[in-house]
Structure 1
């Protein structure tokens, strides 16, 4: 079993934890993610556990997610999953010379000595079939990716922003798709057209006007690397933009010392962090057309809650800008709880989320290591996404929301949020997303003020996925349930 290190927010925490664990070890699995109320010793005999509070769960889509970034990997490829259907991902990226002075030196006088211009993409990891032959093309964008734009989104209308002529050429020097696979995490080499080379290097370029990297990128725009959709199989392949192999190289001839021409190269950074304003973003498309018995049913995504839809026995959680799970406190359970336990003292509200593996097959590789709970709040007409308070309060406790392999479930402490929801000061619903964002555990983030206007990159950067629930034909229990520890 995987072990996680645990940090406690206060030294007095251990005493309360030990007392509670000894008293209730036989009844419930209470860990160190308690709520902000501690059990008084005189009340321990009166502590009760309620597992009847009903949770309604639904599958909802993420219409768009911010995918612009300056670091890490970006995924490219086409992946057909039997449960989640097809995912297609392409990448738009800026480029610029590693040395602006070298570019200005050669831009006007090497056009007749150019051998080739090659875009190299280092592949490193991914999901799906690494041996699947996939196909891509490269286009020049009509504009640069603006450094002063906060976000580009996964559903960006890229077709309106690229030139019609592709600039990639295959080995036969035809303007057609480039074939590649992820075998051995190799490098994809893409030769770019002479027309594009002539834009970058010709005698008419006024190099005096290219006085900065920003001007260079505004002049020559950005690149769009488009991956073609596959009808079956495939995979998503990570491009490692931090690897020094991911570059664009101009090869040109220079006079050799022994009266022979030599080939030298001029490097261009691609999506690199070397220049802080350089950005790239992903274009992601999800098509829920899986052929599995347990495939996502498009008609069950995004139910109209105003029409009181039937909660789903199986719900779906997917990273990479895909699906999330909407958790809603059942109206009848809320009413019953408020009537019967109005003055109850709540010590813990634990949300139990069980993954479902059809055929009893465990697939730890692609499932989220953890999940995060968010609720939405509208401020001045803008919808904000906030961590539920318990995620922030216990951000140093790594067991909150992580998958427990021995119990085969996710466990989320939602004590504070549940209390506030019962008081009417927080919504009685929230979303589950795949992964725990790094910002939540960052030492620079505020203990109680962490929030994102947009979802952080963690939710699109990893293409993981999992079915939540149990076999709807056999299991009577709900896929997500609440266990409340309290006293009257």
Structure 2
């Protein structure tokens, strides 16, 4: 049979099989039900997999921005700091309220985002706020390795325990009416030196005439965790900075009439970025420097940390004895986390898998691509989700392995990396700086080595 006919037959059979199956994480290759595939199975355990560094990534305007100090006993330390711009109230020129102004308090408000990873039970954090010595430009792209220049004098600080799911009660300041106590979304409220808004907001009129004048003077804020004051292993926190702001609570005396009010200096959209630093443990550094064909342990880490490069050297020769007269009904990659991965070091709930094209650009595998008829079943079918019952990850790679076997696809580089589990409508293949989870995968030379299970049918 010629390969052209085999390719067409493979496509038709694969489409029929894929459309008749459920989510592959729920089925697996060994489930005996109505969806079980019939044929012979071969297990390929000669898989080359190694730990490599993730690419640098833009951190400007992230939906979830990391603030971190995490002393991970397996991976080493991760630090993430935040730089932000500030803008005038209403994002326009600002006119002072009438009367004598007295500042009562100032708070930098950082709303939590979903996705904390680390120890939230025993660890305490101390967050420090500084003023930038360089202007944050909202129209510029900043990467995770950007080193920010900031004033070491403190504008404010706060010691806290991470509570990303707990609402808090604050007073809602209503101009000309009694203040009321209300519940607000989980957030950190950091006291700021009143001298800061006293000068930049209530001071020289020239600073309030335009956004450019204000931001040129303020420069921006630099927010980091004091690692010397962090107790326990710490962790990675995430914040929704498009809702962050400096709130100034003040009183006015207007001819004997007293009133309380609040005015905010918001962090503008795309006006924030993260500076991320990883210092890896000896074990991780050894894996990165290894010249072995494959590693026994592979380290995967979010926040633009670590990924795995994987290849399948035996795929082309897998069916030589059958003169390659086979159809691959299903190919499933199975990965098992190393033992001892429990909270607060639980395995990342989701991984992604992608490949390079000829130009070394990231593209989706055929099984995950909506432009390929064999990948139309969606991201949940492609897999990558952690199954706590089996302690495994599964990827359905039928089309990719078939194309490698037939020489229709060239492996210019294939990778596995952590992915944000909240993104369920697509297979995300971009490097991530807004997802902190990690996992250690068993490579080769263990009872739970990475393996490729292939169900095939011989063509007579």
Would you call these one fold, judging by a TM-score over 0.5? yes
CA contact (8 A) 2:311 2:413 kept: yes
* Corresponding residue for residue 465 of structure 1: 438
Aligned in 2, Cα 1:31/1:299: closer, same or farther, shift over 3 Å?
farther
Listed as ranges, the matches of 1:230-245 within 5 Å are 230=228, 232-241=232-241
Aligned in 2, Cα 1:433/1:16: closer, same or farther, shift over 3 Å?
closer
Q: Identify which of 72, 95, 100 aligns with 1:105.
A: 95
Normalising by the residue count of structure 2, what TM-score does the alignment of the two structures yield? 0.75
* Corresponding residue for residue 143 of structure 2: 153
Deviation string for 1:257-299 (max 9, x for gaps)?
A: 7x2644422112235xxxxx43322112122238xxxxx4312
Give RMSD over aligned pairs: 3.9
Distance in 1, matches of 2:239 and 2:418, equals 21
Listed as ranges, the matches of 1:433-472 within 5 Å are 433-435=417-419, 441=425, 455=430, 459-469=432-442
Deviation string for 1:34-86 (max 9, x for gaps)?
A: 9xxxx9xxxx6xx3211035111111122523222253x32323111212221
* Corresponding residue for residue 177 of structure 2: none
**Structure 1 unmatched runs, 5+:** 1-9, 170-176, 272-276, 291-295, 443-449
Distance in 2, matches of 1:65 and 1:140, equals 24
**Once structures 1 and 2 are overlaid, which stretch shifts more, 426-435 or 411-420?**
426-435
Is the aligned partner of 1:182 residue 2:165? no
CA contact (8 A) 2:78 2:277 kept: yes
Aligned in 2, Cα 1:114/1:280: closer, same or farther, shift over 3 Å?
same
Query: What SS does structure 1 have at the residue aligned with 2:433?
Result: helix
The structural deviation recorded for 1:310 is 3.4
CA contact (8 A) 2:85 2:271 kept: yes
Aligned in 2, Cα 1:251/1:373: closer, same or farther, shift over 3 Å?
same
Aligned in 2, Cα 1:32/1:387: closer, same or farther, shift over 3 Å?
farther
Normalising by the residue count of structure 1, what TM-score does the alignment of the two structures yield? 0.71
The structural deviation recorded for 1:418 is 1.7
Aligned in 2, Cα 1:197/1:391: closer, same or farther, shift over 3 Å?
farther
Q: Identify which of 261, 265, 268 aligns with 2:262.
A: 265
Query: What SS does structure 2 have at the residue aligned with 1:78?
Result: strand
* Corresponding residue for residue 171 of structure 2: none
The structural deviation recorded for 1:412 is 0.4
Distance in 1, matches of 2:235 and 2:28, equals 45
Q: Identify which of 259, 273, 276 aligns with 1:281.
A: 273
The structural deviation recorded for 1:202 is 2.2
CA contact (8 A) 1:111 1:198 kept: no
**Structure 2 unmatched runs, 5+:** 1-12, 167-185, 370-374
The structural deviation recorded for 1:409 is 1.1
CA contact (8 A) 1:372 1:391 kept: no
* Corresponding residue for residue 118 of structure 1: 107
CA contact (8 A) 1:123 1:187 kept: yes
CA contact (8 A) 1:386 1:451 kept: no
Aligned in 2, Cα 1:178/1:417: closer, same or farther, shift over 3 Å?
same
* Corresponding residue for residue 76 of structure 1: 67
Is the aligned partner of 1:486 residue 2:459? no
* Corresponding residue for residue 249 of structure 1: 247
Query: What SS does structure 2 have at the residue aligned with 1:58?
Result: strand
Query: What SS does structure 2 have at the residue aligned with 1:312?
Result: coil
CA contact (8 A) 1:123 1:188 kept: no
Is the aligned partner of 1:127 residue 2:117? yes
Is the aligned partner of 1:357 residue 2:346? no
Q: Identify which of 287, 294, 297 aligns with 1:311.
A: 294
